[in-house]
């Protein structure tokens, strides 16, 4: 399985999400079986490392994202990845506009898809400070943990659980 985490510029939320997801997957029964990448709907930062504040925030949680480089979402990503996991509604709208019609159902808001019930979007911390980056980290890490739980859950057997 292949997962792509998407935000606006691929320098804050999506690289933190990629790092958190890789870390959670590495500590799970799924280690080595799921590929993770990230991209941005815009290409302004293509080739650049993640924002230094995102790197510092992730490092504070034991996750190294310093080697990641920003890239823009491409049409080929929709065939290459099983799920396109968007940070917010604007990213979702922009990614779905680029996706072939038959593959749009695989472009989703990451938090609800993963099962994070009390939030829909990961706010963009770019114009904020350390507190905003920490808040974004908490959400992407919860989404990463919930993603692992979703993907390791046994398939439903048709039994209604009340």
- Give the residue numbers marked as catalytic: 7, 13, 124
Beta carbons of 48 and 70 less than 8 angstroms apart = yes
From 135, 88, 125, select the one nearest 107 (Cα to Cα): 88
Q: Helix/strand/coil (H, E, C) string of 9-63?
A: CCCCHHHHHHHHHHHHHHCCCCCCCCEEEEEECCCCCCCCECCHHHHHHHHCCCC
* Element at 6 (helix H, strand E): strand 2-7
Beta carbons of 38 and 77 less than 8 angstroms apart = no
d(CA 61, CA 51): 16
């Amino acid at each position: 399985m292949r997962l792509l985490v998407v935000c606006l510029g691929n320098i804050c939320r999506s690289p933190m999400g990629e790092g958190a997801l890789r870390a959670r997957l590495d500590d799970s029964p799924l280690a080595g079986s799921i590929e993770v990448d990230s991209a941005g709907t815009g290409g302004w930062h293509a080739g650049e490392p993640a924002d230094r504040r995102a790197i510092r925030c992730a490092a504070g949680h034991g996750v190294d994202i310093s080697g990641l480089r920003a890239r823009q979402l491409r049409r080929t990503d929709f065939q290459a990845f099983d799920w396109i996991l968007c940070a917010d509604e604007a990213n979702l709208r922009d990614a779905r506009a680029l996706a072939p019609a038959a593959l749009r159902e695989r472009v989703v808001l990451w938090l609800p898809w993963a099962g994070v019930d009390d939030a829909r979007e990961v706010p963009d911390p770019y114009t904020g400070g350390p507190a905003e980056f920490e808040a974004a980290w908490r959400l992407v890490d919860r989404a990463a943990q919930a993603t692992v739980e979703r993907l390791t859950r046994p398939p439903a057997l048709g039994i209604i659980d009340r």
